[in-house]
Amino acid sequence: MDLPIGEYLQGWNPAAPPTGARLTGRTASLRRLTSDDARPLFARLHSAKAPQDWLYMPVGPFTSEAEFTDWCTSVAAVDDPLFYAMVAGENDTPFGFCSLMNIKPEGGSIEIGFVMVAPQYQKSTAFTEAMYLMARHAFDLGYRRYEWKCDALNHRSRRAAHRLGFSYEGLFRQAVVIKGRNRDTKWFSIIDSEWPELDKLYARWLDPANFDERGQQNLSLSRLTAPHIAQRDPDLPPE
């Protein structure tokens, strides 16, 4: 009896682990997070909006700069999750952090997670370019699958996933316990066959010609990526 079997990956080689090397774009860069980033990040991330912004994160908000510094020092010492500081332009002061995590070179999958951005940068070109640089880096390293996962109640994160070109894959019920609460997790991904076209769309969106003299976009990234999303989140409420 012939049974179905997965496609043979001719010439497949495991992906390379990320090293934390600096990733540089026109409006943003990423570099490995260090304990020295704790002070500027604490000031930017623990604003009046902190409870809302940290609500779905597995850590924080932190009660003091010292506590946040201890956390930054601890995560900066590990390679999975591999934490990066996001910085804007030539200014090396971080406006947020993120990580590459669940790094599986043998299977070719990697996840972007722990994404935390200062309020004034949440809808910025710099933040979007930082997310682009991370995705491009993952596929340049040879990964076949780039994942985005979030709390099913985190509508902002789910919308961001689609804006960035991730396709919806499903709901994992009672996936984890975060801060003593149940979390159902939504899964999204970009796979390597989808990336070349998305790469072009990011380049088109990031082109300075797409922005007016006030820095306002002429064509939204959501509009560009929408036709290339394999499946949309079926119960995502409108904004």
Q: What is the pLDDT of residues 41-51, one digit of tens each?
A: 999 998 766 66
CATH code for position 171: 3.40.630.30
Residue 27 lies in a domain: yes
Residue 114 counted as domain residue? yes
pLDDT of residue 50: 61
Instruction: Identify the pLDDT of residue 166.
Output: 98
Tell me whether residue 6 is in a domain. Answer: no
pLDDT for the residue numbered 114: 97
User: Is there a domain that residue 17 lies in?
Assistant: no
Q: Do the domain assignments include residue 8?
A: no
pLDDT at 89: 75
Q: How far is CA 144 from CA 4, 161, 176, in A?
A: 21, 18, 25
Q: Quick count: other Cβ atoms within 10 Å of Cβ 146?
A: 28
Cα distance between the two ends of the chain = 51
Considering only CA atoms, which of 178, 177, 167 is closest in space to residue 231? 167
Counting the structural domains of the chain, the total is 1
Q: What range does the domain containing 167 cover? A: 23-228
Is 239 part of any domain? no
Identify whether 28 is part of a domain: yes
**pLDDT of res. 232:** 97
Half-sphere exposure of 204 (CA within 13 A, CB side): 14
The pLDDT of residue 98:
98
Q: Please give the model's pTM, rounded to 2 decimal places.
A: 0.95
Residues of the chain with pLDDT under 50: none
Select from 76, 75, 81, 229 the least CA-distant residue to 158: 229
Does the residue 13 lie in any domain? no
